[in-house]
Amino acid sequence: MSAGVDGSIDVLIVGGGIGGLSTAYALARKGLRVRVLEQAKEFGEVGAGIQIAPNCTRILDEYGLLDEAKSLGLLPTGMVMRDAVDGSELTRLDLTDLERTYGFPYMVIHRSDLHGLFLRACRRAGVELLTDHRVVGYANTTQGERGARVELADGRVMAAPVVVAADGLHSVARGLLVDDEPVSSAYVAYRAAVPMGQVRRDVDLSEVVVYVGPGCHFVRYGLRGGEMLNQVAVFRSPKALAGEADWGTPDELDAAFAATSPEVRAGIPLMWRDRWWRMYDRDPIMTWVHGRIALLGDAAHPPLQYMAQGAVMAIEDGWVLAEHVARRRGEDGRVDWAAALAAYEAVRPEHCRRVVLTARAWGDLWHLDGAQRLRRNTILRARETRDYTFTDWVYGATALVPEEEPPMYPVVPLSSVELVES
């Protein structure tokens, strides 16, 4: 029904992260009345960078937000993978050619700039944006007009024909669908986004660089047109493996990168040391809809970040949902919500399952040691740089319809590869 259960809104969205806000905008631009409930006192994001691939910039373009995103971010011309131990190049993507191939650019942008872009778009589109609203419970309404309701921490209840739970890794709503817990990878991420003035050495910001090493990797790219340097240092924590509660501490950071190349080590002193992010994902689930309550973004499919697709998948989710809602909205404004949610659930879980599982496998490949590391390097050096077999299913326009099963990642038995010292 187009009228909200309380008559004022069509969709309640829980969570004002990139997933919640982008979905709010996607639905509002289709004419729906949307309210976002965010638990924090203010809307905001971590002040570090994020990579957004052509499957995301395609959507930004459709939303009319791509030019603004470009003015805030940076368009690198290459993405290079290097060995973290000896610094040698393993493989690369020409991002100019990638843009020609997929029609839209690969970008890097400050998270708060991307989040702010959606926040402003939501304001312009008339989305009702409420902070300091923490949701503690969800239920479907079975009496009267069908819909769902949420209970707030202060005891208030809000209802709407549909509730979208974009409440992140620790989603409360996910418990309606599955009894699971976040899966610890025992890896931790350190971040830094600093003005170039603080960097004190030459860094080529025309490329996104990923250094892959034994039990660690290091990512570097520019932000804000080259005014800032963004770095992410990720490593396996010995303390996590030993079952210690206090894991991922700065002493472990220093030890993890001690044997890496000079270029990687030069970046480590810039990392923020007052906070770090322990890396969790969850096993994929194929059911995201419970009556009139739908999961979206990390609530549905939190990945390890190795494919740089977590926020992008959340943005795709919102776009797909809004497209199916629009297709099932009659001239009187009434939406066939059951059909729209079923269509959303028919399209997205399989794609996101593959991203979550591929990210795990990708991490395993990046973090190899010993002879396996050398074999991996041999395979990657032999890769034809214009071979997009393994990006088509991610960067292509795969979001709207179920697609055929393409290969998930290069499956070459490592034991079959001749060892080559780099």
Ligand X SMILES: Cc1cc2nc3c(=O)[nH]c(=O)nc-3n(C[C@H](O)[C@H](O)[C@H](O)COP(=O)(O)OP(=O)(O)OC[C@H]3O[C@@H](n4cnc5c(N)ncnc54)[C@H](O)[C@@H]3O)c2cc1C
Residues acting as catalytic residues: 221
User: In sequence order, what are the beta bridge partners of 82?
Assistant: 89, 211
343 part of the interface to ligand X, by CB under 6 A: no
Based on CB atoms, which residue is closest to ligand X, 15 or 73? 15
Question: Letter for the amino acid at 76?
Answer: P
Based on CB atoms, which residue is closest to ligand X, 38 or 345? 38
Based on CB atoms, which residue is closest to ligand X, 191 or 329? 191
Tokens describing residue 96: 């100019």
Based on CB atoms, which residue is closest to ligand X, 125 or 150? 150
Interface residue with ligand X, options 28, 90, 135, 216 (CB under 6 A): 135
Binding mask 205-234 for ligand X (x = CB under 6 A): ---------------------------x--
The interface region with ligand X, picked from 14-22, 70-78, 85-93, 325-333 by CB under 6 A, is 14-22
Side-chain-side CA neighbours of residue 102 (13 Å):
27
308 part of the interface to ligand X, by CB under 6 A: yes
The interface region with ligand X, picked from 26-34, 65-73, 166-174, 223-231 by CB under 6 A, is 166-174
4 part of the interface to ligand X, by CB under 6 A: no
**How far apart, in Å, are the Cα atoms of 411 and each of 204, 362, 365, 376, 379?**
32, 11, 11, 11, 10
The interface region with ligand X, picked from 24-32, 37-45, 177-185, 342-350 by CB under 6 A, is 37-45
311 part of the interface to ligand X, by CB under 6 A: yes
Q: Whole-angstrom Cα distance, residue 259 to residue 215? A: 11
277 part of the interface to ligand X, by CB under 6 A: yes
- Smallest distance, Å, CB 379 to ligand X? 24
162-165 and 157-160: which strand pairing?
unpaired
User: In sequence order, what are the beta bridge partners of 129?
Assistant: 36
40 part of the interface to ligand X, by CB under 6 A: yes
Residue 419 carries which DSSP code? P
Is residue 137 within a helix (H) or strand (E), and if so which, with residue range? strand 135-141
Based on CB atoms, which residue is closest to ligand X, 188 or 374? 188
Interface residue with ligand X, options 5, 11, 12, 50 (CB under 6 A): 50
349 part of the interface to ligand X, by CB under 6 A: no
Determine the Cα angle at 305 with ends 175 and 39, to 5°: 45
- Smallest distance, Å, CB 331 to ligand X? 33
Side-chain-side CA neighbours of residue 229 (13 Å):
22
Q: Are 118 and 311 in contact (CB under 8 A)?
A: no
Report how far apart the first and last C-alpha atoms of the chain are (Å, whole number). 63
Based on CB atoms, which residue is closest to ligand X, 21 or 374? 21
Tokens describing residue 73: 């971010």
- The string of DSSP codes covering 249-304 is -HHHHHHHTTTS-HHHHHHGGGS--S--EEEEE----S--EETTEEE-GGGT-PPP
- Smallest distance, Å, CB 403 to ligand X? 19
The interface region with ligand X, picked from 31-39, 67-75, 357-365, 390-398 by CB under 6 A, is 31-39
Tokens describing residue 121: 């778009």
Q: Whole-angstrom Cα distance, residue 87 to residue 270? A: 19
The interface region with ligand X, picked from 222-230, 297-305, 322-330, 413-421 by CB under 6 A, is 297-305
109 part of the interface to ligand X, by CB under 6 A: no
57 part of the interface to ligand X, by CB under 6 A: no
20 part of the interface to ligand X, by CB under 6 A: yes
Q: Are 74 and 33 in contact (CB under 8 A)?
A: no
- Touching ligand X, residues 312-341 (CB under 6 A): 312, 314
Tokens describing residue 215: 């039990």
297 part of the interface to ligand X, by CB under 6 A: yes
Q: Whole-angstrom Cα distance, residue 246 to residue 276? A: 12
166 part of the interface to ligand X, by CB under 6 A: yes
Look at residue 351 and give its three-state secondary structure.
Answer: helix
Based on CB atoms, which residue is closest to ligand X, 213 or 378? 213
Interface residue with ligand X, options 113, 207, 252, 298 (CB under 6 A): 298
24 part of the interface to ligand X, by CB under 6 A: no
User: In sequence order, what are the beta bridge partners of 335?
Assistant: 329
Name the site residues for ligand X (rule: CB under 6 A).
14-20, 37-40, 50-51, 134-135, 166-169, 172, 189, 232, 277, 297-298, 305, 308-312, 314
